[in-house]
Amino acid sequence: MKITEIKTFLMQVGSRPGMPAGAGSFRGSRNWLFVKVETDEGIYGIGECSGWPRVIERAVQDLANVLVGEDPRDIDRLWQRLYVATMGHGMTGTVGGGALTGIEMALWDIKGKVLGQPVWNLLGGKFRDTIPVYGHAKSPERAQELMDRGYSAVKVGFTGAVNLELVASIRDTVGPDADVMVDAHGPSWMTAADAIAVGRELEQLDLLFYEDPVAPENLGALQRVRDAVDIPLAAGERVSTIWGIRPYIERDLVDVIQPDTGRAGGITQMRKMAAMAESHYITMAPHSGSLGPVAEFAALHVLATIPNVLMLERVEIDWPGRYEVVTPVLKAEYGALPVPDAPGLGVELVEEEIEKYPSQRNVADMPENEGAYEPGTFGECVYFQPRLRRRSRLRLKRTEES
């Protein structure tokens, strides 16, 4: 069996033909990139690349020159060959990690189809038949809607300063038996001192984890937060490969690693990350905030086979096109997704639907709301920013009243 061609399918998410680019989620900047690896025996595999899909597409097309004529079943050897091929262009970042991921995912899909087995069975078998998922809530009403759908865990995400009163309100809404998480990602990123101040206030709300309290490359600051705050920490969605996740694990900086299933480097890399984390008693909860449906299938196969799974992020009630571009469609029941049983990944592209959404743009140059920055500084759009009026902005009213 030989690889004959690699095709890419790039699409805009949240914008139908005739609609402005800004319509839909992610301020009109969200793209999905799917990969199809074809062989001379008519068997093909599909994968998904994330990170910067519009740019990654060119990387995949360039790497196709290395793969055509190769046996797709030699997954690890081909991954190493691709990794070495990109080495001369610098360290593997978002683009390289995304390209490696989508291609390797498609190779696993091929192998599963050739052997007539789901990918999870090729990875050693499964621990579980369903994977717990959590949703996103920006209001108590949304949190209640997720609870009504059977979810038992919600995450509150912020750009800039964390709204502590909103987190407290959502905790009150879901009650003590549900899990609440906080994602404090930037921009603007908090300084270590502000992340610690926020974390100490969050301690009283019994969080499952406090995610990305400081910028991802600022590992010294993450260590300071780790030492000062009594809440489990989570991070890792922006790194690729075992070498990218290594310092988070070896330095015990987090309790939860969050590799992105579309840019972590591939299914094998995800499994290796999980094993590294297991040796440090760290769990895994993969990032899925901007991903499409193919990577979600891949995540289920990985999480079914590892002992230290926590849960999977899911954008519940996503853009309607998500449920049109692949078959079958995953449906969460009682806060969990079923592990697929079909050979390979168990998902197929609906190419004619993907073609309806041509890519228009893939970057958004400013945060979604001016609340991410100090008043009057929105136009500066700086990477990190200290918080002013710290007493009023970094404390819960209920703490002051108690």
Q: Which of 29, 15, 34, 9 is nearest to 296 (CA)?
A: 34
Please tell me what DSSP assigns to residue 372: G
The helix (H) or strand (E) run that includes residue 354 is helix 351-354
213, 200 contact by CB (below 8 A)? no
Longest CA pairwise span in the chain (Å): 71
- The catalytic residue among 89, 136, 280, 287 is 287
Find, among 317, 338, 396, the residue nearest to 143 by Cα: 317
Active site residue 185: yes
- Verify cis geometry, omega within 30 degrees of 0, for the bond prior to 328: yes
Vertex 87: Cα angle to 82 and 89 (nearest 5): 115
Q: Measuring CA to CA, how many Å separate 210 from each of 98, 186, 194, 233?
A: 26, 14, 13, 5
For residue 165, how many other CB atoms are within 10 A of its CB? 12
Q: Which residues pair with 209 in a beta bridge?
A: 181
Beta-bridge partner residues of 260: 287
Phi, psi of 360 (to 5 degrees): -115, -40
From 89, 136, 185, 301, the catalytic residue: 185
Q: Examine the residue annotation and report whether 287 is marked as an active-site residue of this protein.
A: yes
Contact 65, 393 (CB under 8 A): no
Token readout for 307 is: 């002992």
Question: Which run of H or E residues covers position 223?
Answer: helix 219-228
- Kindly state the DSSP code that residue 187 receives in the 8-state scheme: S
User: What residues are labeled active site?
Assistant: 185, 287
